[in-house]
Amino acid sequence: MKPGLPTAGLLAALSLPPQCGAAPLPDEPIKPVPLSLQQPPAAVALGRRLFNDARLSANNRVSCASCHDLARGGADARPRSAGLNGKPTLLNTPTVLNAALNFRQFWDGRADTLEAQIDLVVRNPLEMGSDWGAVMAKLQADGAYRRDFASAYRDGLTAANVRNAIASYERTLITPNSRFDQYLRGNHNAITEAEKNGYAKFKQYGCVACHQGVNVGGNMFQKFGVMGDYFARRGGAGAADMGRYQVTGKADDLHVFKVPGLRNVARTAPYFHDASAATLEEAVDVMFKFQLGRTGSKEDKAAIVKFLHTLNGTPAGQP
């Protein structure tokens, strides 16, 4: 069986035919989510089970779904998720929805693939606090897993195949049916005039400099506080605020984070790596001040928020 398509390979051919009889919008900085990212069904079925299996954690209490709740936009509503033994994680949990469309994983981009992200979460002492030897001992004791992995993978139940199965499932968690995607594909009535105005403001103010492409972000790094000292206003920075610097050790990467994708953003409050913005309106205010260095009118910001709501979609193939 071929492993799931790597993230880099997913970004190569995402253009889709428009709806029947409709003309897609040309040359837009945001592109529609593909209708599907084809993955081996057997691997996806195994990955779905593993995603919800708390045996991946050291104490059999934490699963991927514990922090990535599909009913809550693929994240959770807490500023920081509860990991092993209920201890909070260091950063706000990013959504798993459309994560396959990101060029890196985690806020600091330390994982190049979904498989690498899964590996690091399992071994993180604050998250699942386990190791692959312990995980595999538990899974090998499950006859159903042994049987189904032997059927789906040439070499059966291995740690690499467990990571690939979960990643294959996560690659199906894309949201291709947002009203905005319908609009991009040619259905000009899919969003309202007020929402179209919000999209125009989103472009005019320069939000698309960082939030563009298929995932409306997720494809570059950016300093938090380009146009002002965000951390000074917040009262100081800590270890959790170092961002990309913790990966590279380069001074230029201090407070640099992966730009989050904005799909389903209206469902994933609170916002930012530190969960400092409780509402989408607060998040837009912060972006205007510290990333754009501009003073937008109350009406323009409200219009942008209306546009952001059009990015909500349901995961493909999910009940």
Statement to judge: residues 94 and 143 lie in one domain:
yes
Domain-embedded: residue 215: yes
Statement to judge: residues 305 and 206 lie in one domain:
yes
Domain-embedded: residue 63: yes
d(Cα 71, Cα 110) in Å, to the nearest integer?
A: 27
Report DSSP letters for 30-70, one per residue: B-PPPS-----HHHHHHHHHHHT-GGGSTTS---HHHH-BG
Structurally, how many domains does the chain consist of? 2
Statement to judge: residues 162 and 186 lie in one domain:
no
Domain end marker among 141, 170, 199? 170
Statement to judge: residues 301 and 183 lie in one domain:
yes
Statement to judge: residues 202 and 81 lie in one domain:
no
Residue 2: predicted pLDDT = 41
CB 107 within 8 A of CB 94: yes
Residue 197: predicted pLDDT = 98
Statement to judge: residues 123 and 189 lie in one domain:
no
Of the candidates 154, 175, 158, 148, the one whose C-alpha atom is nearest the C-alpha of residue 32 is 175
Residue 9: predicted pLDDT = 45
Residue 24: predicted pLDDT = 82
Tokens of 15: 């253009």
Domain-embedded: residue 230: no
Domain-embedded: residue 279: yes
Q: Which domain holds residue 207?
A: 179-220+259-309
Domain-embedded: residue 283: yes
Would residue 127 show up in a list of annotated catalytic residues for this protein?
yes
Count of beta carbons in the 10 Å neighbourhood of residue 38: 11
Domain-embedded: residue 149: yes
Statement to judge: residues 296 and 190 lie in one domain:
yes
Statement to judge: residues 43 and 164 lie in one domain:
yes
Domain end marker among 170, 198, 232? 170
Statement to judge: residues 146 and 191 lie in one domain:
no
Statement to judge: residues 90 and 60 lie in one domain:
yes
Statement to judge: residues 187 and 297 lie in one domain:
yes
> Which residue among the candidates 28, 115, 127, 281 is catalytic per the annotation?
127
d(Cα 264, Cα 37) in Å, to the nearest integer?
A: 18
CATH number of the domain residue 299 falls in: 1.10.760.10
Domain-embedded: residue 243: no
CA distances from 298 to 35, 209, 277, 285, 295 (A): 35, 21, 17, 9, 9
Domain end marker among 109, 143, 170? 170
Tokens of 215: 């995932």
Residue 317: predicted pLDDT = 60
- 152 CB-contact burial (10 Å; exposed 0-12 / middle 13-18 / buried 19+): buried
Domain-embedded: residue 58: yes
Q: What is the pLDDT along the chain (319 residues), one digit of tens a residue?
A: 444 444 444 444 344 444 444 678 888 999 999 988 999 999 999 999 999 999 999 999 999 999 999 989 999 989 999 999 889 999 999 999 999 999 999 999 999 999 999 999 999 999 999 999 999 999 999 999 999 999 999 999 999 999 999 999 999 999 999 999 999 999 999 999 999 999 999 999 999 999 999 999 999 999 999 999 999 999 999 999 999 999 999 999 999 999 999 999 999 999 999 999 999 999 999 999 999 999 999 999 999 999 999 999 988 766 5
Statement to judge: residues 183 and 113 lie in one domain:
no
